[in-house]
Amino acid sequence: MKSQSDDITPTLVTVSKLRKVYDLSGPWLEKVLAGKGKQTVTAVDNVSFDIKRGETFALVGESGSGKTTVARMVVGLLERTAGEVRIDGISVGSTASAGERARLRRSIQMIFQDPYASLNPRWTVGAIIAEPIVTFGLIKGKAAVAERVGELLTLVGLSPADAVKYPHQFSGGQRQRIAIARALSSNPEFIVCDEPTSALDVSVQAQILNLMADLQERLGLTYLFISHNLAVVRHVADQIGVLYLGRLVEIAGSRDIFERPRHPYTKMLIAAVPDLEDPGKAPEGIVGEIPNPVSPPTGCHFHPRCPLAMDRCKIEVPAFRDGVACHLA
């Protein structure tokens, strides 16, 4: 006899050939007078990856690599130019039915980089956390909602008495705990974390990362973790995808990425991470700067900065095979 668990696939999130192109052209008359054609920038190009239930997939890369654009397309905040995102078998976008879209809105949440900017300063903490509960009709009655808000505050290491306070009365780390409590209030399966610790002090970063790991284990959460810092994701990610100028250049398990990096860009990112075992050793800087996405290099985008670049790299885009996009790999 088939059990209910047999219907649950190990993969919760599937991202297929995701692409985002922005039109930077001015008004039609301005283009005609200036004699310029259509100008576009490809922010994300053919990005594909899967996230298993209960695991963390980290997307890393320098600023301007397209990480946040991917995150916003995954949750449906940004329209895709091409590609598909499926969460628990449901397509994110206009093709989903009204019932499926309602289910997705409850099961997906996002934690942003700046907790103060993501919290309404005019609302109390209790009202902020209660909003998804009330909107989705998860609990009826003011007393029951207030009790649930208190439970969520306790879950993230705060006090139920904090519900009557306002966001400006808390520290940065405490505000991020409030943002996490709000994200948990709709009982989500999947949470997108867009640089959730980059605005915090190092000691507070560790506390928030430990909290998120504990919540993941207790609640069975699945994370897409966006970061520019490999050192941050080393101990929290199960899989790591390395993004460069809108293209994935490598995907591997966290241990494999650090012990056996295959792409030259991944190696440079790892070399830039401070060595805790040898604090006197200065980390190597990443050579050069990320190119202008409006006029990216031909072939492999990374070839102007790559110490191993060949003539082939300048003219041919490397195919993504066996977890890496590199002609030498």
163-216 pLDDT, tens digit per residue, is: 999 999 999 999 999 999 999 999 999 999 999 988 788 889 989 999 999 999
More reliable by pLDDT, 280 or 135: 135
Mean local confidence (pLDDT), 220-226: 96
Query: Going edge to edge, which strands form the sheet with 11-23?
Result: 40-52, 11-23, 82-87, 90-91
5-54 pLDDT, tens digit per residue, is: 455 679 999 999 999 999 877 666 666 666 666 788 999 999 999 999 99
**Cβ(247)–Cβ(318) under 8 Å?**
no
More reliable by pLDDT, 283 or 21: 21
Above 70 in pLDDT, residue 232?
Answer: yes
**How much of the chain, in percent, has pLDDT values that exceed 70?**
90
| Domains of the chain, residue spans | 4-315
Per-chain mean pLDDT for the chain = 89
Above 80 in pLDDT, residue 275?
Answer: no
Give the pLDDT confidence score for residue 23 in this predicted structure: 86
CA distance 108 to 30: 41
How many other CB atoms sit within 10 Å of the CB of residue 101? 16
Query: Going edge to edge, which strands form the sheet with 222-227?
Result: 108-111, 190-194, 222-227, 56-60, 239-244, 247-253
Return the HEC string of 134-158.
HHCCCCCCHHHHHHHHHHHHHHCCC
**Cβ(265)–Cβ(255) under 8 Å?**
no
More reliable by pLDDT, 329 or 236: 236
Please provide the size of the chain in residues.
Answer: 329
CA distance 178 to 99: 29
Give the pLDDT confidence score for residue 114 in this predicted structure: 86
Give the pLDDT confidence score for residue 50 in this predicted structure: 97
Give the pLDDT confidence score for residue 5 in this predicted structure: 44
307-323 pLDDT, tens digit per residue, is: 899 999 999 999 999 99
73-118 pLDDT, tens digit per residue, is: 999 899 999 999 999 988 887 677 778 888 888 899 999 988 888 8
Cα→Cα distances 315→84, 115, 262, 265, Å: 28, 43, 21, 18
The pTM of the full predicted model, rounded to 2 decimals, is: 0.89
Give me the amino acid identity at 53.
R
CA distance 76 to 159: 33
pLDDT band at 219 (very low <50, low <70, confident <90, very high): very high
Give the pLDDT confidence score for residue 276 in this predicted structure: 55
Give the pLDDT confidence score for residue 3 in this predicted structure: 41
Written out in words, the top-level CATH class of the domain with range 4-315 is alpha beta
CA distance 313 to 305: 11
Give the pLDDT confidence score for residue 109 in this predicted structure: 94
Give the pLDDT confidence score for residue 1 in this predicted structure: 36
More reliable by pLDDT, 275 or 191: 191
Give the pLDDT confidence score for residue 130 in this predicted structure: 96
